[in-house]
Structure 1
Amino acid sequence: MKTKFLALAAGLLTATALASAPAKADVKIGLIGGVSGPIAAMAPAMIDSAQLAISQVNEQGGLMGGEKLEGVVGDSACNPQGGTDAATKAVNIEGVSAVVGPHCSGAVLAASASVTVPAGITLVTPSGTSPEITGIADNDTVFRTVPSDDYQGRALARTLIEQGYGKVAVAYINNDYGTGLANAFKAEFEDKGGEIAGFAAHEDGKASYRSNLADLASGGADTLVIFDYGDGTGLTVLRQALENGFFEKFVGGDGMKSDAPIKELGAENLTTFVASSPVGEKSDSLDMFNEAFKAVGGDPDAIFATTSYDAAFMLALALEKAGGDKAAVPTALRAISNGEGEPIRPGEWKKAKELIAAGTAIDYKGAAGDHNFDENGDVPGTYALFKVGGEGFEVITEMK
């Protein structure tokens, strides 16, 4: 009887110990994208590339003590209210430790101000490009893996001058993205000797922009620069400009580098259309990402695929270095990508995890380039000018 009692007691103690041992909980990061709205066609590749980073982490040991990393997808609809709502759900209901996104600048500005900054949650946008993001009072919690539109706008202006575009009209969507990009472009284009023959904002979602286009064309420019979204209003503007013969040549910012204009209007009608877009610097890191993304059915050339991947992988590295402490993520994010330490490339999670555990400094070399954040959480970048070719967009020249 005594033996049976002791055995029973030991069993109860073991069961109690097992019950009191904390279960490993998944670590969540938000993937807040423009799943619906004007960049809906771009969002899937961006989310898929971030999910690739998450799967690599989990396949190579997970975070910290083996916790799984989980991406929680939310839809910002590419607007401020949608961004706020999606961030609120991710932070307050899902309990995410960090956020990749939102994808659109207005959503970034709103979500950070209303949700992530007050909550102390680190946000890394892979595609929010408005210059306004630089000045957010964020307590060092807002970062981006894509350059500011101040850089893109000025680089595009310089490139067009070099390509012989001396006189242009500019149509831009009246939001944070369009306004920031258009103003940067205008300032640089005029500074380099170009002439802006028309410069006007337009509202989203109208059925017709013919009167806007007629006004812009009255200045005598043969080229229309469109800062808008190729899956939304920008497509309508481009179609109506072509149908009515208002302009002969067309230039788009990165929001216009979408498959939608090609599918809707036909490549044969876009022989004079070019667009700017960020590109990954040629490197071993880019090759490694390209191979891995292709292997899971992704398109490495999709816009913002590299920056989305990098944002997710870097947040995982920062969470690992911070030991899961949300408040320590910003400092850790800067530490894992500052130009010093053992190089870590896309997919090298096991290597990074071992080095971090050993207290060895690491330096992430991203698919989109080196992300050495400045004091505002901004990064330098590389852009190219594209034309429409037989198999989609083809690079014409790098933009500097």
Structure 2
Amino acid sequence: MKSKILALTAGLLAATALASVPAKADVKIGLIGGVSGPIAAMAPAMISAAELAISQVNAQGGMMDGEQLVGVVGDSQCNPQGGTDAATKAVNIEGVVGMVGPHCSGAVLAASASVTVPAGIVMVTPSGTSPEITNIEDNDLVFRTVPSDDYQGRALARTLIEQGYGKVAVAYINNDYGTGLAQAFRAEFEAQGGEIAGFAAHEEGKASYRSNLADLASGGANTLVLFDYGDGTGLTMLRQALENGFFETFIGGDGMKSNAPINELGAENLSTFFASAPVGEASNSLETFNAAFTEAGGDPDAIFVTTAYDAAFMLALALEKAGGDKEGVSAALREISNGEGEPILPGEWAKAKELIAAGTAIDYKGAAGDHNFDENGDVPGTFAFFKVGNDGFEVVTQMK
């Protein structure tokens, strides 16, 4: 009887000891995108690219002591209030320790100011391009893997001058994205000797923009530069401009490089439609990502997938280096991609994890290029000028 009691006591003590060991918690990061709203057609591919990075991390040992990296998807609706709400839920309810996104500039500005910066959470946006993001008072917590629209707008202006477009009208959606891009374009286009025959903002969600288009066309330009979203108001304006013959040629920014206009209007009706967008630099990293994303069922030519992948993989690397402590993620993010250390390509998580554990410096070589952040968390980038072909968008020329 005594031996049974001793055995029972030992078992209870062992069970108590096991129960006192805390279970390994998942490491959560937010994936905050424009799941609904004007970039709804773009968002799924971007989220899938980030999820590819997460799956590679988990397949090669996970985070720290084997914890799983989990992406918590939230819908910013591509607007400030939606971004704030999604970020609030991710931080305060889900307990994320880092964030990829939001996708849209207005959501980035609002969510960072109201949620992530006060909470000390690092945010890496793969597609928030407004120049205003550069100026956020962020305590070094807001980064982006896509270049500012200040660069895109100016590069597009120079490209159009080189292509022989000397006179254009400009329509832009009245938000942080459209305004920043339009102003950068206008400044450079006029500095290069171009003429802006019309320059006007428009509000989102109207049924008709015919009067806006007629006013812009009255200046005598045959080309409309349209800074908007191809899944939303930009599509409506493009359709109505074509139906009414207001302009002959249409040129969009990256927000217009969407399959929605092609699917809705037909490639045969868009032979004079062009768009600018960031592109990954030709590299082993880009080839590696393209192969992995294709194998996972993704489209490597979809816009912002390289920057979305890089944002997630870099955030994971920074969290690993910081030991999962959100306080050290900002500094670690700069350290894992600064041009110094052992090169790490997309998907090389096991290699990176081993080097980090050994205290060896690493340098992530991204699918979208080398993300060596400046003091504002910005990166340089490469853009291309696209046309609509039989198989979707085709590169016309690189933009400088």
Place the TM-score, normalised by the shorter chain, in its bin.
over 0.9
The aligned amino acid for 1:42 is: M
CA shift digits 1:116-174 (9 cap, x unpaired): 00000000000000000000000000000000000000000001111111100000000
Post-superposition shift, 1:12? 1.8
Q: Summarize the alignment of residues 1-400 of structure 1 with structure 2, pairs less than 5 Å apart.
A: 1-400=1-400
Post-superposition shift, 1:14? 1.2
Give the number of equivalent residue pairs. Answer: 400
Post-superposition shift, 1:8? 2.4
- 2: distance between equivalents of 1:2 and 1:187? 91
CA shift digits 1:47-100 (9 cap, x unpaired): 000000000000000000000000000000000000000000000000001000
Post-superposition shift, 1:13? 1.8
Post-superposition shift, 1:4? 3.0
The aligned amino acid for 1:388 is: V
Post-superposition shift, 1:11? 1.6
The aligned amino acid for 1:70 is: V
The aligned amino acid for 2:21 is: A
Secondary structure of residue in 2 paired with 1:369: coil
The aligned amino acid for 2:182 is: A
Secondary structure of residue in 1 paired with 2:39: coil
Secondary structure of residue in 1 paired with 2:365: strand
- 1: distance between equivalents of 2:18 and 2:129? 49
Query: Which has the larger displacement, 44-53 or 263-272?
Result: 263-272
CA shift digits 1:299-341 (9 cap, x unpaired): 0000000000000000000000000001110000000000000
- 1: distance between equivalents of 2:128 and 2:304? 10
RMSD: 0.7
Post-superposition shift, 1:16? 1.0
Secondary structure of residue in 2 paired with 1:318: helix
The aligned amino acid for 1:255 is: G
Post-superposition shift, 1:2? 4.0
Query: Which has the larger displacement, 6-15 or 345-354?
Result: 6-15
Unaligned stretches of 5+ residues in structure 1: none
CA shift digits 1:205-244 (9 cap, x unpaired): 0111111111111111110000000000000111111111
The aligned amino acid for 2:226 is: I
Secondary structure of residue in 1 paired with 2:117: helix
- 1: distance between equivalents of 2:270 and 2:188? 26
The aligned amino acid for 1:231 is: D
The aligned amino acid for 1:156 is: L
- 1: distance between equivalents of 2:16 and 2:169? 74
- 2: distance between equivalents of 1:361 and 1:2? 59
The aligned amino acid for 1:363 is: D
- 2: distance between equivalents of 1:300 and 1:102? 20
Secondary structure of residue in 1 paired with 2:155: helix
Secondary structure of residue in 1 paired with 2:170: strand
CA shift digits 1:4-29 (9 cap, x unpaired): 33322322221111000010110100
The aligned amino acid for 1:277 is: A
